[in-house]
């Protein structure tokens, strides 16, 4: 899903779409620093979704990676450049450290600032800097060797002659940034030092980086053994690097009680004067000082996150403001979602002007919601600003919209009078999202909401007074096989001119890149009745399109998760879109998936955590190929397959319900002859 035009998270999105948006924000953060949302908002959504889906691959990823960059080539990290698992607050840290170190009699930890900049890796051979790269996705980064030569604190030579890798954070001095480069004092300026740093580092011309005045602070050494974290810091300082030991007031603490370390971390965080630091920080890092013990404890997320250490985040920042209006945004399913227009204010380094609300039904006749309502806004997760609570009622009620903001059609209430709906079949906002959802599900890459928005909205691009694409099937022939237009060749020339020759060719090639999919993927891609993964269950009882045609409401109610409303919705929408489905089948063929055996027939499995080999996704495919099913944790689950990394979430629920919890080896053993 392409979020290039998104400014916030739409709460009408599915959880999968929200996770994709988080991934997009992480990508932007790691490459050019222009994430559309704030850190605190990002964290709120991240932790909430991680709690619901702890085994989703996204939560095992580190940072982001773009295929296109302003400068540099891709570089593979010989040692994974991971990150730390995070605690959103001190209470979460309390729970984590008790669970992790409850058997340890005496503890020694190192506390450091969690610098909010751009992570860098510096590789030295025979005392000379031979390569510098960004973290990227933890496995592959971007080569910025020439640029870092102009970053203060990066050493071109060091006294150590061993092959060693120094890691740290690149940042912009806060005082200088806000005096010269912030958007409030400079036309076209930057929102915060992090964005400035990423943009300044990723430049084709290294002299631009030189003029930007960046700095580097070191905190890690790899490819060399040390007994303690303090020894690492001393090594870094002896080789000429600035370190967090020199900027952090309280570096090492020896604690004989776990409760005491929680108190020490709390007191330390409360004592930090963040405004007077040379860099931004969004929390602190707590590292076990004994490197040998920490290494023995291992890691999770495919080696990306060490078990011994943790980052603790500061509490979300919040501010008071006033609601001055409301507008509607239409989702893929036609739901008009209300968005509060706020009196602009600064929060966590960005200007906040909007906050998504729940539904228009709650706004009708409600005294607390209205023009002039004073509210407290929280950026808890760096996504969409969140209205924490209302301080005072509004002066006048909101005007409920009557027309769809995308197509102008009359909005209608649903049966429960909760949601306003656009029921137009020609709504660009719905069509664009629908096509985007289809491509994502079947595996087409390279076509996002920006491109689709232009193709489906005649106010963006039109031919003979109509949008280029008016339905999902048309995306397959309106770009390169137009039977509708009187002047097809002129139209193609027009599109090439609008997108550019190469870009347009890439769009056409991407559209036709996937020509065969399994039935369940085809059905899920249609987005009918929000069935999600239940498409697999539908395909299991109706293995052909014609079989699905014959399904009744009672047939679907026999599937777990299908209630009366969902079953009726699927049957009705399937019939309404049958002609569209017929047209799609001209371009996308349904192929059968042959099971390897029926060893898991009648069994249901759920996986939690990160697995090395085979990985979680591979094991989920094994379940289907051997006749089994994937399911959420319930009393009917055959087993929860557990990697041993966490005892929360699905693990706790399975324990409570008495569901068997097995290891990866136990699961693989069920497939042996």
* Tally of domains in the chain: 5
Q: Does 216 lie in the same domain as 276?
A: yes
Q: Domain containing 564: what range?
A: 516-591
pLDDT tier at 67 (50, 70, 90 boundaries)? very low
Q: Is 515 exposed, middle or buried (0-12, 13-18, 19+ CB in 10 A)?
A: exposed
Is 70 exceeded by the pLDDT of residue 671?
Answer: yes
Taking residues 322-338, what's their average pLDDT?
86
Is 50 exceeded by the pLDDT of residue 371?
Answer: yes
CATH of the domain at 156: 3.30.470.30
Is 15 a member of any domain? no
- The predicted-structure confidence for 214-226, as pLDDT tens digits, reads as follows 999 999 999 999 9
Is 70 exceeded by the pLDDT of residue 103?
Answer: no
CATH of the domain at 362: 2.40.50.140
Is 80 exceeded by the pLDDT of residue 499?
Answer: yes
CB 147 within 8 A of CB 193: no
Last residue of a domain, one of 361, 395, 421: 421
Taking residues 38-60, what's their average pLDDT?
69
CA 448 to chain centre: 16
What are the residue ranges of helices labelled H in 190-284? 193-201, 206-212, 229-238, 244-247, 258-271
Cα angle, residue 102 at apex, residues 99 and 106 outer, rounded to 5°: 135
* Residues contacting 50, CB < 8 A, separation 6+: 56, 59
> What is the DSSP annotation of 174-207?
HHHHHHHTBTTTSTT-BSSHHHHHHHHHS-SSHH
> Over pLDDT 90: what percentage of the chain?
24
Is 151 a member of any domain? yes
Q: Does 404 lie in the same domain as 296?
A: no
* Residues contacting 286, CB < 8 A, separation 6+: 93, 97, 109, 110, 111, 265, 309, 310, 311, 312
d(CA 302, CA 494): 48
- The predicted-structure confidence for 285-318, as pLDDT tens digits, reads as follows 999 999 999 999 988 766 778 899 999 988 777 8
> What is the DSSP annotation of 310-338?
EEEEPPPPEEEEEEEEEEEEE-TTSEEEE
CB 556 within 8 A of CB 538: yes
Long-range contacts of 662-668 (CB under 8 A, 24+ apart): 664/611, 664/619, 666/639, 666/641, 667/605, 667/619, 667/639, 667/641, 668/614, 668/619
pLDDT tier at 337 (50, 70, 90 boundaries)? confident
Q: Which range, of 106-120, 468-482, 614-628, 629-643, averages the lowest pLDDT?
A: 614-628
163 compared with 346, residue with greater pLDDT:
163
d(CA 664, CA 645): 12
Determine the pLDDT at residue 551.
Answer: 92
CATH of the domain at 521: 1.10.150.20
CATH of the domain at 632: 3.40.50.10190
Enumerate the β-bridge partners of residue 243. Answer: 218
Written as six digits, the tokens of 109 are 């930890």
Is 17 a member of any domain? no
Q: Does 128 lie in the same domain as 252?
A: yes
Written as six digits, the tokens of 319 are 């501010």
Determine the pLDDT at residue 113.
Answer: 93
d(CA 433, CA 211): 42
Is 216 a member of any domain? yes
What are the residue ranges of helices labelled H in 69-155? 90-101, 145-148
Q: Which range, of 80-89, 246-255, 321-330, 416-425, averages the lowest pLDDT?
A: 246-255
- The predicted-structure confidence for 610-658, as pLDDT tens digits, reads as follows 676 677 767 877 887 888 888 778 888 999 998 766 666 788 888 889 8
Q: Does 402 lie in the same domain as 298?
A: no
Neighbouring C-beta atoms of residue 125, cutoff 10 Å: 12
Neighbouring C-beta atoms of residue 235, cutoff 10 Å: 19
Look at the alpha carbons of 445, 446, 448, 454 in this order and tell me if their dihedral is positive or negative.
negative
pLDDT tier at 260 (50, 70, 90 boundaries)? confident
> Over pLDDT 70: what percentage of the chain?
87
Is 50 exceeded by the pLDDT of residue 576?
Answer: yes
Taking residues 316-326, what's their average pLDDT?
85
Q: Write the CA distances from 477 to 23, 471, 511, integer angstroms.
A: 31, 11, 10
Q: Write the CA distances from 455 to 451, 452, 467, 472, 504, integer angstroms.
A: 6, 5, 6, 11, 12
Is 26 a member of any domain? no
Neighbouring C-beta atoms of residue 385, cutoff 10 Å: 33
Average pLDDT, the chain: 83
- The predicted-structure confidence for 515-537, as pLDDT tens digits, reads as follows 999 998 999 999 887 787 788 88
Determine the pLDDT at residue 16.
Answer: 81
Is 63 a member of any domain? no
């Amino acid at each position: 899903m392409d979020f290039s035009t998104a400014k916030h998270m739409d709460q009408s999105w599915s959880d999968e779409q929200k996770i994709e948006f988080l991934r997009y924000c992480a990508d932007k953060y790691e490459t050019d620093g222009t994430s559309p949302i704030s850190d605190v908002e990002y964290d709120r959504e991240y932790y909430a979704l991680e709690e619901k889906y702890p085994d989703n691959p996204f939560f095992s990823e580190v940072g982001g990676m773009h295929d296109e960059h302003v400068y540099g080539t891709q570089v593979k990290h010989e040692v994974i450049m991971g990150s730390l698992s995070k605690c959103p607050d001190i209470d979460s840290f309390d729970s984590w450290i008790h669970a992790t170190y409850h058997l340890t009699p005496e503890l020694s930890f190192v506390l450091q600032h969690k610098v909010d900049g751009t992570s860098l890796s510096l590789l030295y051979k025979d005392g000379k800097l031979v390569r510098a790269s960004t973290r990227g996705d933890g496995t592959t980064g971007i080569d910025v060797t020439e640029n870092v030569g102009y970053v203060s604190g990066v050493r071109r030579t060091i006294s150590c002659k061993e092959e060693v890798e120094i890691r740290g954070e690149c940042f912009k001095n806060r005082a200088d940034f806000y005096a010269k480069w912030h958007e409030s004092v400079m036309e076209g300026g930057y929102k915060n030092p992090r964005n400035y740093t990423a943009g300044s580092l990723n430049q084709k011309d290294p002299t631009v980086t030189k003029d930007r005045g960046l700095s580097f602070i070191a905190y890690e050494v790899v490819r060399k053994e040390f007994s303690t974290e303090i020894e690492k810091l001393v090594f870094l300082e002896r080789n000429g690097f600035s370190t967090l030991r020199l900027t952090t007031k309280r570096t090492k603490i020896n604690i004989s009680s776990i409760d005491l370390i929680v108190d020490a971390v709390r007191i330390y965080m409360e004592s930090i004067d963040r405004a007077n630091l040379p860099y931004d920080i969004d929390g602190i890092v707590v590292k076990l000082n004994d490197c040998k013990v920490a290494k023995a404890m291992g890691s999770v997320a495919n080696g990306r996150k060490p078990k011994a250490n943790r980052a603790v985040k500061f509490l979300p920042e919040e501010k008071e403001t006033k609601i001055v209006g409301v507008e509607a945004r239409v989702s893929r399913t036609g739901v008009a979602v209300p968005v509060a227009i706020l009196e602009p204010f600064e929060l966590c380094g960005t200007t906040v002007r909007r906050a998504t609300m729940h539904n228009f039904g709650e706004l009708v006749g409600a005294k607390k919601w209205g023009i002039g309502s004073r509210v407290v806004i929280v950026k808890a997760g760096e996504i969409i600003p969140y209205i924490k609570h209302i301080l005072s009622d509004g002066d006048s009620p909101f005007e409920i919209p009557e027309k769809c903001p995308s197509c102008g059609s009359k909005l209608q209430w649903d049966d429960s009078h909760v949601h306003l709906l656009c029921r137009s079949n020609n709504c660009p906002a719905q069509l664009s999202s629908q096509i985007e959802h289809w491509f994502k599900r079947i595996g087409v890459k390279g076509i996002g909401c920006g491109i689709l928005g232009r193709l489906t909205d005649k106010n963006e691009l039109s031919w003979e007074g109509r949008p280029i694409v008016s339905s999902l099937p048309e995306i397959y022939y309106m770009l390169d096989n137009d039977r509708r237009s009187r002047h097809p060749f002129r139209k193609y020339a027009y599109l090439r001119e609008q997108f550019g020759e190469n870009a347009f060719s890439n769009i056409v090639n991407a559209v036709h890149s996937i020509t065969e999919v399994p039935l369940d993927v085809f059905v899920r891609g249609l987005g009918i009745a929000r069935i999600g993964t239940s498409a697999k269950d539908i395909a299991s009882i109706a293995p052909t399109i014609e079989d699905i045609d014959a399904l009744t409401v009672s047939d679907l109610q026999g599937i777990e998760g299908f209630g009366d409303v969902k079953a009726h919705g699927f049957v009705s929408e399937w019939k309404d879109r049958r002609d569209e489905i017929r047209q799609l089948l001209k371009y996308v063929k349904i192929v059968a998936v042959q099971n390897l055996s029926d060893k898991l027939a009648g069994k249901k499995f759920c996986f939690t955590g990160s697995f090395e080999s085979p990985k979680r996704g591979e094991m989920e495919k094994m379940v289907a190929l051997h006749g089994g099913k994937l399911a959420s944790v319930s009393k009917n689950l055959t087993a929860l397959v557990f990697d041993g990394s966490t005892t929360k979430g699905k693990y706790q629920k399975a324990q409570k319900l008495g569901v068997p919890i097995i290891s990866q080896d136990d699961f693989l053993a069920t497939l042996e002859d």
